[in-house]
A and B are shown apart, each in its own frame.
Chain A
């Protein structure tokens, strides 16, 4: 993408420069504006290369999407799937930009009537004719503008998505909007906090203390902890924590999703 876009963007100015003689190309004083021209050709003489190139590109694009999307879904290759979605999104962006060309004339008329409503009909017609003569240049500006805007909107949406998911993940890891934690076990003391919590009881709804994991407590002399099935064949390493009954009330409920719970009490009660 980083190579193709600069390449394509430099081809048109180079072509424009080469289409004129050297003197005309270097003359900065004269306007290079060309009136709108319509070329009528015989069917046999019309240049087919542009159509062929666009057709081939569309064919390859469709083939990639049609073949790789089911392949990525079947093989659960999420990296390829995301790349294809990005590819589809880029195609959608280009397609919408091209579609916007069809509304260009309509929008020119609407905006001319909206912003020059006090002018005479002749003046508005003059402006519209003027816009007609600038159409090729306006088309290029509209294309660049719509693609740039599309990419900016895409970046804003994806960055906000990443920020939201990161925020949710961080919030779930802490589990509460306000959490005091220490890097070492036994550094949070109820005796020290009780006075503070009591003093600010008017703003506190609930609070609960959590122990460090069992294997990190020196006096426990525990190397590791595992959960086993009855046969003691299947096991999974776990971290064991002790919690006060009020911890679940002091945590964010939205992140609690039960698979099975037969009790009516809060989870840590």
Chain B
């Protein structure tokens, strides 16, 4: 698990030490509130894709992020959640030549032709 320095400062979390994550249920019949003990492997001042900061930001900004492995994440959804049912929302791709517009266009065109829009 990895987290930002602001979260670590607020919760006094340290690397390889246990941190507590509380999950609040939105339906008491379906799920109970739960506490999870997780062990951070790193603390970041800043991270790509995810919001991890080392200081308090202006009000109204989005929340700080904690990232973890997919099995741990699925376990927080439900102890019986299969990896095959994992939800995905983003796909980061690193090209061999990131600034090559022809390669970018080739990949995007392939997505448009192969994927079906709902």
Q: Write the residues of chain A forming the contact surface with B, with a CB cutoff of 8 angstroms.
A: 172-182, 184-190, 192-193, 195-197, 199-200, 203-214, 217, 219-230, 232, 234-245, 247, 249-253, 255-263, 267-268
Knowing A188-B88, A256-B47 touch, does A196 contact B98 (C-beta < 8 A)? no
Among B67-118, those with CB < 8 Å from A are 67-70, 72-74, 76-78, 86-100, 103-104, 106-107, 110-111, 114-116, 118
Which of A182, A200, A209, A214 makes the CB contact (< 8 A) with B23? Answer: A214
Which residues from A are CB-within-8-Å of B25?
221-223
Summarize B's interface: helix, strand, loop or mixed: mixed
Cα separation A245 to B88 with both chains bound (whole Å): 14
Which of B66, B90, B92, B94 makes the CB contact (< 8 A) with A238? Answer: B66
Which of B21, B51, B98, B107 makes the CB contact (< 8 A) with A227? Answer: B21
Summarize A's interface: helix, strand, loop or mixed: mixed
* Chain B 23-35 near chain A by CB (<8 Å), digits 1 or 0: 1111100110001
Q: Write the residues of chain B forming the contact surface with A, with a CB cutoff of 8 angstroms.
A: 2-3, 5-8, 10-16, 19-27, 30-31, 35, 41-51, 54, 62-70, 72-74, 76-78, 86-100, 103-104, 106-107, 110-111, 114-116, 118
**How far does the Cβ of A260 sit from chain B's closest Cβ, in whole Å?**
5
Cα separation A97 to B114 with both chains bound (whole Å): 62
Q: Is the CB of A251 within 8 A of B76?
A: no
Q: Is the CB of A245 within 8 A of B69?
A: yes
Which of B26, B106, B114 makes the CB contact (< 8 A) with A203? Answer: B106
Which residues from B are CB-within-8-Å of A237?
63-64
Cα separation A129 to B30 with both chains bound (whole Å): 95
Tally the A-B contacts, defined by beta carbons under 8 Å.
284
Select from chain B the residue with minimum beta-carbon distance to A236.
B10
Select from chain B the residue with minimum beta-carbon distance to A218.
B87
Which residues from A are CB-within-8-Å of B42?
258, 260-263, 267
- B3, B91, B116: residue with the most chain A Cβ atoms closer than 10 Å: B91
Q: List 6 A-B contacts (CB under 8 A).
A: A181-B89, A186-B89, A187-B89, A220-B31, A228-B22, A250-B94
Q: Is the CB of B77 within 8 A of A256?
A: no
Knowing A205-B94, A214-B77 touch, does A239 contact B63 (C-beta < 8 A)? yes
Which residues from A are CB-within-8-Å of B48?
172, 174-176, 251-253, 255-256
Q: Is the CB of B87 within 8 A of A186?
A: yes
